[in-house]
Amino acid sequence: MNKYRSLLALLVSLLLGLGAVGLLSRWMQQQVAAGTREVVVAAQDIPIGTRLQAPMLKTVRWPGSTPLRDALSSIEEAEGRVVNVGVFQDEPLLKAKLAPTGEKGGLSAQLGDGQRAVTVKVNEVIGVAGFALPGNYVDVMVNATDQDNHPVSKIVLERIQVLAVAQDVATPEGKPKVVNAVTLEVTPAQAETIDLARSIGTLSLVLRNQRDPAGIHTTGARKNDLWRTALTSSSQSVRSEGPARTPRATPSSAPSALATPAPALAPVIRGLAVSAQ
């Protein structure tokens, strides 16, 4: 009898312990949930300019200790909006990354206020075709003739952002891509400059460091500058080599006196006899 009572007491104690653990676990989950919030994140990598759809999105609990500014809390709030920047998988969707409600998306969603997009054909672009990727900055250079009808190459626009190559606003892993057109983001005045420049000459893109915002003024390069540069490079090369050195004579075992050529003997005529002195 006592044995059954002991087993019953042990079973009741075990059940009470399990109940206490369950209540504690639920209380802890409630405390954790109270410190988090629902946040919409990307369920996959989303390229720039994409219109969001429900399968691309999901919600997760985000810790309150890491607050997010202007985060979306429901998929319905994000559905149908266009992303202004590329979003990686599991990255939270913020309002700053989305175009205004009703925006059609595509390339126009990337343009800043007052900016325009102008496309330059690759057969007009010499130098970095295939290496000017979306997001890079380039300088625009034109090769034309000046007022005196002399050939000149001149940078006409600096630090112009590349919006797209061909029809792609992003390239996988930032790899170079051979394309037939490059689209640039410019102001209306810069668009006019590009249009005029390509009508009078040949355009080239000069890739520049994205962290270099400084501008530079040049007078352009002309044919005479090429010859002057060539002559300068040639004279610098001569100076670097130094004066010509006189080759040393090879030492000889014969005495130096024998090495000196003997003077020629003049003939002397005395009567009928001829002798040399």
Neighbour tally for 78: CB within 10 Å: 22
Q: How much is the pLDDT for 128?
A: 74
Distance CA 129, CA 180 (A): 9
- Please report where in the chains the tokens 């893109």 appear, as a residue: 205
Closest CA to 114 of 192, 195, 214, 189: 189
User: For residue 259, what pLDDT is reported?
Assistant: 45
Residue-level pLDDT at 235: 60
Q: Does domain 36-108 have CATH number 3.30.70.20?
A: no
For the chain, give every domain's residue range. 36-108, 111-223
The pLDDT assigned to 257 comes to 40
User: Which of 126, 130, 128, 121 is CA-nearest to residue 142?
Assistant: 126
Q: What pLDDT is recorded for position 229?
A: 67
What was the pLDDT predicted at 13? Answer: 79
pLDDT tens per residue across all 277 residues of the chain: 667 777 777 777 788 788 778 777 776 666 555 567 889 999 999 887 788 999 999 999 888 777 788 888 899 988 888 888 889 999 999 988 888 777 666 677 677 788 999 998 876 666 676 778 888 899 999 999 888 888 999 999 999 998 888 766 666 556 666 777 889 999 999 999 999 999 999 888 888 888 888 888 888 888 788 777 666 666 665 555 555 555 454 444 444 443 445 555 555 555 555 455 5
Instruction: Give residue 252's pLDDT.
Output: 45
